Amino acid sequence: MAYAGSFSRGNFSRKAGTGVVVRNAIVNELLRLGEDNRTFLLLNDTGEYVFREFRLRFPHQLINVGIAESNLVGIAAGLAAAGYVPFTYSIAAFYARAYEQIRVDCCYNRANVKLIGIGAGISYGTMGPTHHTIDDIAAFRALPNMAIFSPADPVEAALLIKSAFVWEGPVYLRLGLAGEPIINATNYKPVIGIPTILREGTDIAIIATGRIVSEAIKTADMLASNGISCSVTNIHTLKPFDPRRLSKEFRCNNILTLEEHNIQGGLGSLVAEGLAEGGYRSRLIRCGLLDTFCPTYGSREYLYKYLRLDAISIAERIDRL
Average pLDDT of the segment spanning 206-227 = 94
Kindly give the pairing relationship between strand 19-20 and strand 147-149.
unpaired
Residue intervals of the chain classified under CATH 3.40.50.970 are 19-181
* Structural contact between residues 25 and 157, judged by C-beta atoms closer than 8 angstroms: yes
Task: Identify the pLDDT of residue 18.
Answer: 42
Residue of 8 and 244 predicted with greater confidence: 244
Exposed/middle/buried for 147, CB within 10 Å: 0-12, 13-18, 19+?
buried
> What is the DSSP secondary-structure string of 141-206?
HTSTT-EEE--SSHHHHHHHHHHHHHSSS-EEEE---S-EEP-S-TT----TT--EEEE--SSEEE
pLDDT at 207 over 70: yes
Q: Where in the chain is the domain with CATH 3.40.50.920?
A: 196-319
pTM of the model: 0.91
Confidence class for position 10, pLDDT limits 50, 70, 90 = very low
Q: What is the largest CA-CA distance in the chain?
A: 60
Q: Checking DSSP bridges between strand 39-43 and strand 171-174, what pairing results, if any?
A: unpaired
Could you give the CA distance from residue 150 to residue 153 in angstroms, rounded to a whole number?
A: 9
Q: What is the pLDDT of residues 160-200, one digit of tens each?
A: 999 999 999 999 999 987 778 888 888 899 999 999 999 99
Reported as a single tens digit per residue, the pLDDT across 118-154 is 999 888 778 888 889 999 999 999 999 999 999 999 9
Judged against a pLDDT cut of 90, whether residue 209 lies above it is answered with yes
pLDDT at residue 5 tops 80:
no
Among 43-52, 121-130, 135-144, 209-218, the least confident range: 121-130
Find, among 270, 238, 245, 242, the residue nearest to 257 by Cα: 270
The pLDDT of residue 185? 84
**CB count in 10 Å sphere of residue 124:** 21
- Mean pLDDT taken over the chain: 90
What is the fold, at CATH topology level, of the domain defined by 19-181? Answer: Rossmann fold (3.40.50)
Alpha-carbon gap, residue 111 to 158, rounded angstroms: 22
Range 196-319: architecture per CATH: 3-Layer(aba) Sandwich (3.40)
* 132 residue type, one letter: H
